[in-house]
């Protein structure tokens, strides 16, 4: 957004509570690599120029990439400045920070979609003595005591942590609710390449039937490993990870799991096949069938006949619980009445219903790719155009 504002000669400042790329410096586990390939981290005027376009960046690589971008754009970033309150004024907004106030006519909230790890209310019923960790607190398996680990949630974070922790010699059970299965590579190409090329990632918020639902869809079960491995539930059970259904409660020290695991997995297989159907149709239409590997389908997710419906957390088997149940933004400092009853910010493709106020970086904000690094550019171009019109008085 800073780059797009500069292109329009709109005077601005970027306020950051930490350093540039703060979330990547402070909130990620050690082994994490982007699940999007190198070529896909495209920012306005800045793409990948290395010799490994199909590789996946490590966290230090991401920090370097974003820092280099801020430098290349000469972004006016004011670091170590935490916004503590935002209020409406007659002409715009008053932004309080730990280093003084700012007044502005327009304000873009780019504080991220994942500020707070979001365990369900049942997390408070974990028996005392079993440490609970969120992905923001988890760094590596050495931080955990020996013994079993229960991972709640089977999207990108849950599957990656289950894999790493199980391989460290700590037996893992993973509780899988709704999840989206995807192969890393299909017909010889990265699944992100297919989704990008076929236009799936460019689908717009105002052109899909149920945007509220689409904004809640969990992340794809993907990992960025040098070997381009698929990390679905079959990959986890193949190394010995145990599968359970969605965690629905904890009562008298016993975790209770939904009996719907088989259905959840069947649904996930079905959705993956639908995505692959879309890709195959697009490949045929574009005449690619002779150039790439032929279409094929993957074996269904293996689920044992009677998956466990409960697990005694007091038996000593489980030593740690990891809540890989998603994240949410933090708007505790936003004193403008634009949040709904669930605390979510109301917006129309990033245009917040308060004059001159915008939000970026949220799930499916304007496009399916909006919460990816690759989605920021198009959204910033659109929203900076709207913001310029507002400043010029063309929008009320
Ligand atoms: C575990 C995980 C893995 C991910 N993997 C990928 C991936 O593989 N590929 C991909 O494209 N995307 C990935 N993402 C999404 C990724 O976070 C975004 O693409 C990208 O970081 C979003 O950038 P952003 O600037 O919108 O938000 P953020 O990176 O969250 O940046 C928000 C910034 O706002 C600052 N801030 C927040 N509150 C305040 C305040 N009150 N005052 C001042 N500053 C504040 C924060 O310090 C932070 O620097 C992942 C996210 C997570 C959580």
DSSP 137-176: T---GGGSPSSEEEEE--SHHHHHHHHHHHHTT--EEEEE
Q: What was the pLDDT predicted at 395?
A: 80
Q: Cα of 361 to ligand 1 centre, how many Å?
A: 8
Identify the residue whose tokens are 């390449």: 193
Residue nearest to atom 30 of ligand 1 (CA): 112
pLDDT at 170 over 90: yes
User: Is the distance from CB of 17 to CB of 84 less than 8 angstroms?
Assistant: no
Q: Cα of 23 to ligand 1 centre, how many Å?
A: 5
- Atom number in ligand 1 closest to CA 327: 53
- Atom number in ligand 1 closest to CA 135: 1
pLDDT at 396 over 80: no
As a residue count, the chain comes to 396
Span 353-367, average pLDDT: 98
Q: Which residues line ligand 1 (CB under 6 A)?
A: 15-18, 22-23, 28, 34-36, 82-83, 110-112, 114-115, 157, 327, 333, 360-361, 371-374
Q: What was the pLDDT predicted at 26?
A: 97
Those residues whose C-beta lies under 8 Å from the C-beta of residue 292, and which sit 6 or more positions away, are 187, 188, 189, 283
Q: Cα of 22 to ligand 1 centre, how many Å?
A: 8
User: Cα separation of 217 and 207, whole Å?
Assistant: 16
pLDDT at 86 over 80: yes
Residue-wise pLDDT tens digits, 102-150: 999 999 999 999 999 989 999 999 999 999 999 999 999 999 999 999 9
User: Is the distance from CB of 51 to CB of 114 less than 8 angstroms?
Assistant: no
Query: Which structure tokens are listed for 253?
Result: 């020290």
pLDDT at 192 over 90: yes
User: Is the distance from CB of 312 to CB of 251 less than 8 angstroms?
Assistant: no
- Atom number in ligand 1 closest to CA 29: 1
- For a pocket test of ligand 1, which of 361, 369, 378 has the largest count of ligand atoms closer than 8 A to its C-beta? 361
Span 23-33, average pLDDT: 98
Q: What was the pLDDT predicted at 276?
A: 98
Span 223-252, average pLDDT: 97
- For a pocket test of ligand 1, which of 69, 373, 378, 379 has the largest count of ligand atoms closer than 8 A to its C-beta? 373
Residue-wise pLDDT tens digits, 263-321: 999 999 999 999 999 999 999 999 999 999 999 999 999 999 999 999 999 999 999 99
Q: What was the pLDDT predicted at 394?
A: 85
User: Is the distance from CB of 354 to CB of 20 less than 8 angstroms?
Assistant: no
Identify the residue whose tokens are 């259905």: 263
Span 314-336, average pLDDT: 97
Query: Which structure tokens are listed for 267?
Result: 């649904």
User: Is the distance from CB of 205 to CB of 364 less than 8 angstroms?
Assistant: yes
Query: Does the model's pTM come out above 0.95?
Result: yes
Give the 3-state secondary structure percentages of the chain, helix then strand then coil, rounded to 5.
30, 20, 50
CA quadruple 365, 374, 76, 380: dihedral positive or negative? negative
Q: Cα of 99 to ligand 1 centre, how many Å?
A: 22
Q: Cα of 252 to ligand 1 centre, how many Å?
A: 38
Q: What was the pLDDT predicted at 59?
A: 98
Mean pLDDT of the chain: 97
* Residue 186 parent element (H or E): strand 185-186
Identify the residue whose tokens are 């094929």: 296
DSSP string, 53-111: TTS--BHHHHHHHHHHHHHHTT--EE-S--EEEEEE-SSSEEEEEBTEEEEES-EEE-S
User: Cα separation of 360 and 380, whole Å?
Assistant: 8
Pairing of strands 180-181, 247-251: unpaired
Q: Cα of 108 to ligand 1 centre, how many Å?
A: 15
Q: Cα of 236 to ligand 1 centre, how many Å?
A: 27
Residue nearest to atom 37 of ligand 1 (CA): 111
- For a pocket test of ligand 1, which of 31, 139, 191, 372 has the largest count of ligand atoms closer than 8 A to its C-beta? 372
CA torsion 132-329-104-100 (nearest 10°) is: 0
Q: Cα of 24 to ligand 1 centre, how many Å?
A: 7
Q: Cα of 373 to ligand 1 centre, how many Å?
A: 9
- For a pocket test of ligand 1, which of 111, 322, 359, 365 has the largest count of ligand atoms closer than 8 A to its C-beta? 111
Residue nearest to atom 6 of ligand 1 (CA): 34
């Amino acid at each position: 957004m800073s780059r797009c504002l500069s292109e329009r000669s709109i005077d601005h400042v970027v306020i950051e509570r930490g350093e540039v790329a703060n979330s990547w410096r402070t909130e990620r586990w050690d082994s994490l690599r982007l699940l999007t390939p190198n070529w896909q981290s495209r920012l306005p005027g800045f793409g990948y120029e290395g010799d490994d376009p199909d590789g996946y960046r490590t966290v230090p690589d991401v920090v370097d990439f974003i820092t280099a971008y801020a430098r290349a754009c000469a972004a006016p970033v004011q670091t170590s400045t935490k916004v503590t309150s935002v209020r409406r004024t007659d002409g715009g907004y008053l932004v309080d920070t730990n280093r003084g106030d700012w007044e502005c006519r327009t304000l873009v909230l780019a504080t991220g979609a994942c500020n707070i790890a979001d365990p369900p209310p049942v997390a408070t019923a974990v028996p005392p003595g079993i440490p609970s960790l969120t992905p923001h607190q988890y760094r590596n398996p050495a931080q955990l005591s020996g013994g079993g680990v229960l991972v709640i949630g089977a999207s990108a974070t849950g599957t990656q942590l289950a894999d790493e922790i199980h391989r460290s010699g700590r037996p893992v059970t993973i509780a899988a609710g709704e999840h989206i299965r995807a192969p890393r590579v299909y017909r010889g190409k990265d699944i992100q390449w297919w989704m990008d090329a076929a236009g799936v990632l460019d689908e717009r918020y105002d052109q899909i039937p149920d945007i509220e639902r689409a904004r809640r869809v969990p992340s794809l079960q993907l990992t960025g490993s040098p070997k381009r491995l698929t990390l679905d539930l079959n990959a986890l059970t193949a190394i010995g990870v145990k599968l359970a259904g969605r965690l629905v409660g904890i009562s008298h020290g016993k975790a209770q799991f939904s009996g719907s695991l088989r259905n959840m997995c069947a649904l996930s297989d079905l959705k993956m096949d639908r995505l692959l159907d879309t890709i195959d149709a697009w490949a045929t239409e574009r005449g690619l069938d002779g150039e790439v590997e032929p279409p094929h389908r993957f074996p269904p997710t293996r689920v044992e006949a009677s998956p466990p419906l409960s697990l005694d957390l007091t038996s000593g088997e489980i030593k740690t619980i990891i809540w890989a149940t998603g994240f949410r933004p933090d708007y505790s400092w936003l004193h403008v009445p634009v949040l709904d009853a669930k605390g979510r910010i109301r917006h129309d493709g990033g245009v917040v219903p308060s004059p001159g106020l915008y939000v970026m970086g949220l799930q499916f904000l304007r496009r399916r790719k909006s919460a990816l690094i690759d989605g920021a550019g198009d959204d910033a171009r659109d929203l900076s155009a709207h913001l310029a019109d507002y400043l010029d008085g063309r929008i009320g």
